[in-house]
Chains A and B, each alone.
Chain A
């Protein structure tokens, strides 16, 4: 083992194993620490090391732009230790700048759940395209594929990570399946290549992006000179395009722009620039079907109204109009609201196992099986929030199922799931018992039946069709109305 020492900017040293053919990306090569808990990466181009702007950018990324360090530890302003710990899991954020033998960075290595455990890909990284393409999925062992609810979960984390970057005024500039590793079994993801973060007008992007994820306006103007004012560069709005593509791919297993439509061109590059750039067209565009794929088993509308709205905005309205694209925070919200509408598929061999409740039909869109569980109905909880006093306005819906739980963010309007809502104790759970649906109170202090009976902890409220009640009597709590949805017949 050839262990070498690298000198960091703060004077400390780290060890790494020098090998002949280290893994290499477009900008850097990677060496591992002896215990493989961190990596030491050096830039290929020596000139990069001499560039003071590069050094300045790395310093800023390690300190004031850093959400994985609390403000007290030198990280981003307003960042609490809890938030820092949370974001440490979502980003492989650099922890040090290497100055000798050349300029580089030290970053944590991603944990073992991002590596395949079985089959011929054992110990390989879980790069996203293995899971988002039908042909690639067929090569994976079934146990590595993960269920659809887990895909929704890591999409939430992906949107949240990008949201955190964007709100700090930064942009990633190269979001793709290569730079965001996913774990479909645990529902996790981690963002890589943080040292290339873009700060608009200050630190420009290093790369154009990855084919398939480059925003149409960037690709269409990519042949212009770098300083041409008409040229479009990667930034937050192009990240928004890449994020939309990733979410669409993971949830529907196809690319939103790669359809049958082609254009005559002199070269393959020119053809790509037309198809994915200037002439890019959504394969499910409602008014222009010329790029519509034959295989559209699951139309995007099957994902429910929250996601359908954003998909329309991203790929119809916003495809060539960057300011109309949904922001990452909107994806985060829509994905979370959609999670509350999941129904379990009745087919034990369905690869997805979960689908979004669609009032027009109770059939899993992935395997075609109609919902047929052990009970004739399921409760749909309609949520209401108080508009002016005593006026209740619709505020979303939650599908309840046997052993599904309600949480604080369902009960109160000021709370939303995420790094800031640490209280994840279930407030109540739903049960099908002796032919009826019940809501069993676990931690609600003022759950009162419509008759005025207090439903204490461990006690249950019978859920009947049309029943309306308050989840709590505390301020900013919600009213709910129960609708029992018929499954059979």
Chain B
């Protein structure tokens, strides 16, 4: 049985009381947009494995690494303080476990899908992390944020949720900060890309003629999608 590399995607979702109302609704929409982008790309449809860590007064791993087709949006309810540091610490533990299982090709720590690997040498993609918060943590998070920077992740994206976000905290959390209220279709796809060198074109060798000498000019009225 061939092994498909997994793309783990960690969602850290702030469910503290300051998130009630518009901010948590914005997170719900942000999660929907992320899932829609993952499902509409053949590559990520096959490889994406989301996991969810919710945090308010405590941080908890509510949904372990699951294949996208089996993944269900989490139910989000707000209340309590905002233990971002605890969430980052929990994320760190998950990443370490996953890294340990990564190079042996076996199932990653906490995964539910069961091992699909066989021979050694299969590697999962480096995980992506999306943190959706309004930026008002209540515990000691800076140390954990620094530790995260040294972990092997593909990318960490901090997503600003709601109408009164504290951008400074988000900017300290991650190099990339996204505003959830200005997502457009496929805006998450930028983060799924794989590093590539300038790729060689696979092309067929068919004869090509030179430009005809009397080409009509470009159309005066151009149809453009809104």
Interface assignment of B30: CB less than 8 Å from any CB of chain A: yes
Contact of A332 among B43, B185, B209 (CB under 8 A): B185
Residues of B near A450 (CB, < 8 A) are 201, 203-206, 208
Known: A65-B163, A201-B21. A468 touches B204 (CB 8 A): yes
Is the beta-carbon distance between A451 and B182 smaller than 8 angstroms? no
Is the beta-carbon distance between A416 and B218 smaller than 8 angstroms? no
Q: Classify chain A: how many residues form its interface, as a range.
A: 35 or more
Residues of A near B222 (CB, < 8 A) are 405, 426, 429
Contact of A153 among B206, B209, B225 (CB under 8 A): B225
Interface assignment of A68: CB less than 8 Å from any CB of chain B: no
In the complex, identify which listed stretch (B85-93, B103-111, B190-198) lies at the interface while the others stay far away. B190-198
Interface string of A205-239 (1 = CB under 8 A from B): 00000000000000000000000000000011000
Interface string of B185-226 (1 = CB under 8 A from A): 111011001111111111111101101100110110011111
Is the beta-carbon distance between B41 and A169 smaller than 8 angstroms? no
Known: A65-B22, A153-B225, A201-B21. A449 touches B208 (CB 8 A): yes
CA distance A64 to B73 in the complex (A): 27
Contact of A462 among B28, B162, B208, B224 (CB under 8 A): B208
Closest to A470 in B: B201
CA distance A388 to B42 in the complex (A): 12
Residues of B near A330 (CB, < 8 A) are 32, 36, 185
Contact of A386 among B162, B199, B205, B226 (CB under 8 A): B199
Known: A77-B164, A333-B36. A393 touches B42 (CB 8 A): yes
The interface residues of chain A, by DSSP majority, are classed as: loop
Closest to B219 in A: A403
Interface assignment of B100: CB less than 8 Å from any CB of chain A: no
Is the beta-carbon distance between B203 and A468 smaller than 8 angstroms? yes
Is the beta-carbon distance between B36 and A327 smaller than 8 angstroms? yes
Contact of A469 among B21, B186, B203 (CB under 8 A): B203
Interface assignment of A404: CB less than 8 Å from any CB of chain B: yes
Q: Tell me the minimal C-beta distance from A247 to chain B in angstroms.
A: 14
Interface assignment of B59: CB less than 8 Å from any CB of chain A: no
Residues of A near B160 (CB, < 8 A) are 77-78
Is the beta-carbon distance between A336 and B218 smaller than 8 angstroms? no
Q: Which residues of B contact A (CB under 8 A)?
A: 20-26, 28-30, 32-33, 36, 40-43, 73, 160-165, 167, 179-187, 189-190, 193-206, 208-209, 211-212, 215-216, 218-219, 222-226
List 7 A-B pairs, Cβ < 8 Å.
A78-B179, A169-B25, A199-B22, A202-B20, A329-B36, A390-B199, A468-B203
